[in-house]
Structure formats: C-alpha cells, structure tokens
Structure 1
C-alpha cells in the first residue's frame, strides 16, 4: 500500500514529505524550509523528468525510524507536491 508522511526538523526549520510505494521505496519526496515553506526539492525516484534524487533521499525504513513522523493524506501530499513543482519550475 502506498503511504504518505511528513517529518519536521526544528533544528533545520525544514519539513520533509514522503510518498512510499508498495515495495517500501520512497518514490517522491518534497523538502520545504522556513516559515514560508520555501520548496528546496521535489523529486521523483525514477528520474524520468526532473533528474536525480536529492542527495541523501531517504528509504522507507529511515523515514519510519525518525521520531515525530506523522502520516498525511494523499491529498495533502499532492497539494505540497504540486505547489513545490510549480515553484521550482518557475525559478529554474
């Protein structure tokens, strides 16, 4: 089953959003930073359109092992994903 989660790191003021596929691989990841939630990355594991994964992209085990990880809905992940992709395409 595909799942979605978010993890906030206060010391980095960064929020990481993950989509995990049926095989336990992180297939999409969005990293946001700051109070304005500025997109840093929005990556697709299969590198079809936007290039390589961000350095240090996490596995499902790494995501689940972090304290404070919370499950989010597919709709919430899609909103974050779409907003980040649009922003990154404009500034590229």
Structure 2
C-alpha cells in the first residue's frame, strides 16, 4: 500500500500515521508535513487511553518567535514536546500503520480538549 499524501492543516502535503512506543506504553500519532517532519503529534497512554501530548509545530514556532522561555515551558507542560527531525523509518516501528486524516483529527480534538481542562 502506497503512502497517502493529502493536504494537511498547514496547506502542504501531509501524511498521517501511528506507531507504538513499547518502553513508554504510548501510542504515537503523527501528522507529518511534506518534508517528513511532525506538524502535529498526539500521544495516548495505552493503559488508560489518556492523552499526554497534543503538540503543534505551528504553535511551537509561534512561541519561539514571539514569546519567552516561560511561555514555551507552560506550553510544553500542558501539551507536551513535539518530536524533532524527520519521521523517516516510522514504517519499521512497532505496530506502525497509516491512519486517515479524519482519525488523526478526531484524536487531536479529543486530546486537546482533555489537556486544555487538565492544563
């Protein structure tokens, strides 16, 4: 099955996929941009299905360019830390699979709602 590329949130081509981090017991969901970098990331604990990360590259770049380290720290405590670097090789990770844009968006909205309340 070929990798599906669709227009993402930033207007560029995007792919959506998931992997599983066995060490941390986390499902990792990514929206990757046309260069393979994480544009948005959601992490959900396997044991209780609770989201622990819902970070956005656009938000991180905005904070980096217009805020201070305190604001960035608050963001990371509330929404987690976005993966850095290209997502090359994700297909070789445990339980890796492509997901639909709709599935990612549903997870994103749910994670943000949860982390907004807890943050």
**TM-score, structure 1 length as denominator?**
0.81
SS at match of 2:88: helix
Instruction: Tell me which residue corresponds to 1:77.
Output: 104
- Give the 4+ runs in structure 1 shifted more than 6 A: none
Change (3 A) 1:10 1:24: closer
Q: Which residues of structure 2 form unaligned runs of 5+?
A: 6-13, 64-71
- Give the TM-score, by structure 2 length: 0.65
CA-based RMSD of the aligned residues comes to 2.3
- The residue number in structure 1 matching 2:67 is none
* Matched pairs, number: 91
Write 1 or 2 for the structure with the bigger share of helix: 2
Q: Which segments of 5 or more consecutive residues in structure 1 lack a partner in the other structure?
A: none
* 1:1-92 correspondence to structure 2 within 5 Å: 1=5, 2-46=14-58, 47=60, 48=62, 51=75, 54=81, 57-58=83-84, 59-92=86-119
Q: Distance in 2 between matches of 1:82 and 1:42?
A: 9
Report the structure, 1 or 2, having the larger strand content. 1
Q: Deviations over 1:34-85 (max 9, x none)?
A: 3321111100012147845616x15321534424310000000000000000
- Structure number, greater radius of gyration: 2
